[in-house]
Amino acid sequence: MPEHHRPLAARLLLIATLVFMARPVRADVDFDRDIRPILSDACFACHGPDETERQADLRLDTRDGLFRQQDGVSVVAAGKPGESELLRRLLSADPDEQMPPPDFGLKLKPAQIELLREWIADGAKWQQHWAFVAPQRPGQPTVSQPDWVQNPIDAFVLARLDRERLKPSPAADRRTLIRRVTLDLTGLPPTPEEVDAFLADKSPNAFETVVDRLLRSRRHAERMAIRWLDAARYADTSGYQSDGPRDMWRWRDWVLEAFLQNKPFDEFTIEQLAGDLLPNATLDQKIATGFNRNHRGNAEGGVVPEEFQVEYVVDRVDTTFTVWQGLTMGCCRCHNHKYDPLSQREYYQLFSYFNNIPEYGRAIKEGNSRPYIEAPPPPQQESLNKLKRLLASDQQQVADVDLRMPELVAAWRKSVKGEPEDWTDIDGLIVRLTLDGSLENSATEEQRAAQRSATTVPEPN
């Protein structure tokens, strides 16, 4: 080798050596990680969940289909690659037997076929999709520096560092520490006063005190709530073309208060999905159900209300399932799900639960569309309650006076000095009761005569 090439060759050799040393050693072949993706890409189009496209009545997306036996032939024979029809078809050179078919446009790589062979030889262990398997708490790993570990999470961090042949970073100084934890829990840096207070606190639980203070702060509740607000499609406008204003901020404040009070997650869930159905539901529990009124509302003049009534229910179904189940259910609106164990029938069963709001499909351009409730904030509610108590008190006084009215009228009649000649109200006739109880009549004689004439009833002929 020419002398001037040696430094480059040495560098390349060093890089290759380091890459080889850093390459992780592959563990046992894992069905979810290694095998299912291959089957999904190459096989599910013709042998998957879509019954309209399924060929040879064979499913490779289910355990029963993958290990099916027919006429002495096994699709997959655990531990026996040579007796597995799946592997034979993948290796076949016959265009009539080769899988995937030549016209499919996808050919497996040799490394993929080798993975399938290893999986079958190792016993063809099948796994349900990891998302539907209850997690198991792992044991705490053994690490190189046990004294460095202060809690179980540290052990897992250090185990990974050990695997990568790295050392832990030195502990952060106190000023850096409070900045990190404050940014992490609130999204904002600490104030100079908060930093000074922490630096001055020499107690052994000074850091725990800071963490407790931050967890109780409204800033922390806001940081936690914003993710939930995004997932629940919160907005104070209706969306679509008009995008007019509406008031959903009372529900937003309910979410903030829930995080601030550390409301248990089961209550958090029940109140948002069915708070108005709870016995003796409070105003707050009714406000919580605003989760299902966060959907967009179309106020365009040409909309078909019945169509958008359906769209609003679909929005509720999709959002509720995504938020609480961690699955997208939208595919099932039109057909059984291609990958997840969800059917179109189940979709519309859930649809029926949300299809019970007397909501008109065309929203109003500005303001909240019916049905809605009045939801004054606590200060306003307190003022309203005070006014209601005053009104009730006044109404009771009026009712008490009504009950005593005959008695009061009789007492008044006795107190009147003299009787009025006539109480008919005609122009120019003035009769009034003065404050001292005397009766004053300022009508003239002509007015009195006119009064008597007007009140005289003619005798019948």
Segment 347-380, tens digit of pLDDT: 999 999 889 888 898 999 898 998 888 889 989 9
Give residue 6's pLDDT: 41
Answer yes or no: do 237 and 363 share one domain: yes
Q: Is residue 2 part of a domain?
A: no
Answer yes or no: do 263 and 302 share one domain: yes
Range in 85-94, 197-206, 316-325, 332-341 with the lowest mean pLDDT: 332-341
Average pLDDT over every residue of 299-312 = 92
pLDDT of residue 26 exceeding 80: no
Instruction: Grade residue 456 by pLDDT with cuts at 50, 70 and 90.
Output: low
Give residue 439's pLDDT: 61
Answer yes or no: do 342 and 233 share one domain: yes
User: What rounded mean pLDDT belongs to the chain?
Assistant: 86
Question: Per-residue pLDDT tens for 397-453?
Answer: 999 989 998 888 888 888 876 665 555 555 554 565 555 656 666 666 776 676 666
Task: Please give the model's pTM, rounded to 2 decimal places.
Answer: 0.69
Q: Is residue 25 part of a domain?
A: no
Answer yes or no: do 155 and 227 share one domain: no
Answer yes or no: do 420 and 408 share one domain: no
Give residue 18's pLDDT: 38
Return the sign of the alpha-carbon dihedral for residues 57, 62, 67, 68.
negative
pLDDT of residue 455 exceeding 80: no
Average pLDDT over every residue of 200-228 = 96
Contacts of residue 40, Cβ cutoff 8 Å, sequence gap at least 6: 48, 61, 339
Answer yes or no: do 262 and 369 share one domain: yes
334-352 CB burial, b ≥16 within 10 A, e <16: eebbeebebeeeebeebbe
Answer yes or no: do 223 and 360 share one domain: yes
Domain count across the chain: 5
Answer yes or no: do 327 and 425 share one domain: no
Answer yes or no: do 229 and 353 share one domain: yes
Range(s) of the domain holding residue 388: 376-412
Give residue 442's pLDDT: 62
Question: What backbone phi and psi angles, to 5 degrees, belong to 284?
Answer: -60, -40
